[in-house]
Amino acid sequence: MQALEVVSLQKSFGRRRKRAPAPAIALAGVSFEVARGECVAVLGQNGSGKSTLIRALSTLVLPDSGTARVFGHDVVREDREVRRLVNRVSVEASFFKRMSATENLSYSARFYGLTPAQTRTAIPEILDRVGFPATRAVEPMQQLSRGMQQKVALARSMLTSPVLLLLDEPTTGLDPRSKREVQEFISGMRERHDTTILLCTHDMAEAQSLAERVGILHAGRMLALAPAAELLERFGAEDLEAAFFTATGAELQDDPEETTR
Amino acid sequence: MMRIQLIGLWGIVERNVYLVRRYFWWELAFFVWTVANTLTITFIAKGVQATGGHLDVQRTTTALLIGAVIWSYLGIIFEVLTETVAWERWEGTIEYTFMAPLARAVHLGGMGLFAVLYGVVRTMLLFAVVAMFFGLTLQQADYMTAIVLLAVASVSFVGLGMVTAVLPLISPEKGAQLGFIAQGLLLVYYPVSVMPQWMQWLATISPATYALRGIRAAILDGASISAVSGDIWPLLVLGVVSIPLGLVVFRAGERYAKRHGKLKRSG
């Protein structure tokens, strides 16, 4: 059984009124598979459909057609089972800003059945593992830097022991040191926990260093998905940036007209 | 499985306690505002007398106080339940909470439980503080009957709160305001008989009508539980109907939001 099986997934957004503009197509029949324990990176511009893909796999968006299965469970029909297996880290750390790291992590952990007695030991342990100083665990989140907040976000995702981790640009906007620390933690996590990872990113180096295979998502279509070396060979490119340009005709950092969905 | 859901329910209550603690000064400011607001209503009886009107000031003041206090209680229930979506969206945590493996009924039940606990504490404090301003002597009041009525009515209030909770999910911009309008339709200050016919009809399906009539009878006249049974059974019926209705409406709203991509932080 594959960790993730996505078949012809389609999603468009837009009003269904006569004079409304044509619906924006976020996913135009995306298909791919991810094996258990594998890390797959998906490269795409803003508006390419990366976030919609992550949100559909998180059971937050209902696809128009096609299927997605997480360890055999359909994300629409068996959404509760899928939610037990999945967690995510997104570009925005997203916490109750006045609450502390410990309080935010407790809140999240309860949803997955962790009791106060369990989180009293588990939270300091996981914060220590992501390199978060224990002395700051009781400070309101709004007093922490972006890098610190993102470490707490990683801790939140790992606290629930997900078997599939969805990472949506987890290092965007971080300073180089925080970025490296987050990437090291992600690598270490795979080695320790056999977690399957789907990483959506803008960062070519990050994709190349963390993932076994790299996908190119453009205008809602998965144009290619293969090991980085194979992509370079297929597109006759020296690096992933050139491969992306050859595959899509666009720079990865370009902002197309459509907004991120 | 049930154990996990109960831990999740406790997690919702616990988070709200954290927020009350972290926003303590705001809590205090809002409480003072509610006291001032309640006073402006309860002073009406004395004001009418001072301008030449004839009425039983003590009785009218108490009746107005009960109306204002129940209004405040309703406000808390609706506000807390509406925050199920609105506050999470504002903080940006909505996606994490809604992708957690917590049954929606448990999620909303946790919000409802906290709303009732928090509402009862705030309402009792409010009643005590405002009553001091008027030196009200309520020796004949049957507080047990009033508490029973409030407890039974709370089930219906939570069910209606669930219905309004979905509004910010469907319409991030207008949802919270629509919730306040729904609260406004629950008629608390006047006897139903003074309202236009269509509002009287509306009042028959409003739990506030029965809760207020029963609580006023208990506080003003010392009515026992058996004496207000005519108000308790409609509340039980409304409670049995409103919770499943609230869940069905919320789930339908959630499906709509997922279909249209509205279940996200920015709306």
Predicted ipTM of the assembly: 0.89
Helix or strand or coil: residue A91? coil
Closest Cβ–Cβ partner in B103, B263, B265 for A92: B265
Name every residue in A having a CB less than 8 A away from some CB of B: 13, 26, 52, 55, 58-62, 80, 83-84, 86, 88, 90, 92, 94-99, 103, 106-115, 140, 156, 261
Residues of B in contact with A115 (CB under 8 A): 7
pLDDT at B188: 62
Closest Cβ–Cβ partner in B8, B12, B19 for A96: B19
Contact A107 B15 (CB under 8 A): yes
CA distance B6 to B57: 48
As a whole number, mean pLDDT of residues A220-227 equals 95
Most B CBs within 10 Å: which of A16, A58, A105, A107, as the mutation test of the B interface? A107
User: Residue with structure tokens 């990437």?
Assistant: A183
The distance of A235 to chain B (nearest Cα, Å) reads 35
| Residue A6 main-chain phi, psi, to 5 deg | -115, 125
Q: Which residue of B has its CA nearest to A261?
A: B261
Contact A113 B18 (CB under 8 A): no
Most B CBs within 10 Å: which of A110, A139, A146, A258, as the mutation test of the B interface? A110
pLDDT at A253: 67
Residue with the larger pLDDT of the pair A257 and A196: A196
- pLDDT per residue of chain B (267 residues) written in tens, 0 to 9: 789 999 999 999 999 999 999 999 999 999 999 999 999 999 998 999 899 888 888 889 988 998 889 888 988 998 898 888 888 888 889 999 999 999 999 999 999 999 999 999 999 899 889 988 888 878 889 999 999 999 999 999 899 888 888 888 887 666 556 556 655 555 566 777 887 888 788 888 888 889 989 999 999 999 999 999 999 999 999 999 999 999 999 999 999 999 998 888 764
pLDDT at A72: 96
Question: With contact defined as beta carbons under 8 Å apart, do A78 and A157 qualify?
Answer: no
pLDDT at B222: 93
Residues of A in contact with B267 (CB under 8 A): none
pLDDT at B85: 86
pLDDT at B181: 61
Is residue A259 very low, low, confident or very high in pLDDT (cuts 50, 70, 90)?
very low
Least confident span in A48-52, A171-175, A193-197, B20-24: A171-175
Q: How far is CA A103 from CA A98, A110, A140, B82, in A?
A: 10, 11, 9, 22
Question: With contact defined as beta carbons under 8 Å apart, do A106 and B11 qualify?
Answer: yes
DSSP assignment letter at A239: S
- To the nearest whole number, what is the mean pLDDT of chain A? 90
pLDDT at B248: 95
Closest Cβ–Cβ partner in B93, B97, B101 for A80: B101
Question: With contact defined as beta carbons under 8 Å apart, do B261 and A261 qualify?
Answer: yes
DSSP assignment letter at A6: E
For strands A164-168 and A86-89, give the pairing.
Answer: parallel
Residues of B in contact with A112 (CB under 8 A): 4, 100-101
Is the pLDDT at A95 greater than 90? The verdict is yes
Closest Cβ–Cβ partner in A94, A99, A111 for B92: A94
Is residue A115 very low, low, confident or very high in pLDDT (cuts 50, 70, 90)?
very high
pLDDT at B180: 61
Closest Cβ–Cβ partner in B7, B99, B264 for A113: B7
Label residue B84 exposed, middle or buried (CB < 10 Å: 0-12, 13-18, 19+). Answer: buried
Residue with the larger pLDDT of the pair A69 and B177: A69
| Residue B18 main-chain phi, psi, to 5 deg | -60, -45
Is the pLDDT at A15 greater than 80? The verdict is no
To the nearest 10 degrees (0 to 180), the angle between helices B104-134 and B2-22 is 40
Contact A13 B22 (CB under 8 A): no
As a whole number, mean pLDDT of residues A148-155 equals 92
As a whole number, mean pLDDT of residues A149-165 equals 91
pLDDT at A107: 96
Q: Of A15-29, A222-236, B84-98, B129-143, which has the strongest mean pLDDT?
A: A222-236
The distance of B15 to chain A (nearest Cα, Å) reads 6
pLDDT at A260: 43
Beta-carbon contacts below 8 Å between A and B: 95
CA distance B58 to B139: 12
CA distance A184 to A203: 15
Closest Cβ–Cβ partner in B11, B12, B95 for A60: B95
pLDDT at B186: 57
CA distance B96 to B167: 19
Question: Is the four-CA dihedral B17, B22, B23, B24 of positive or negative sign?
Answer: positive
pLDDT at A143: 96
pLDDT at B24: 95
CA distance B107 to A208: 40
For strands A213-218 and A39-43, give the pairing.
Answer: parallel
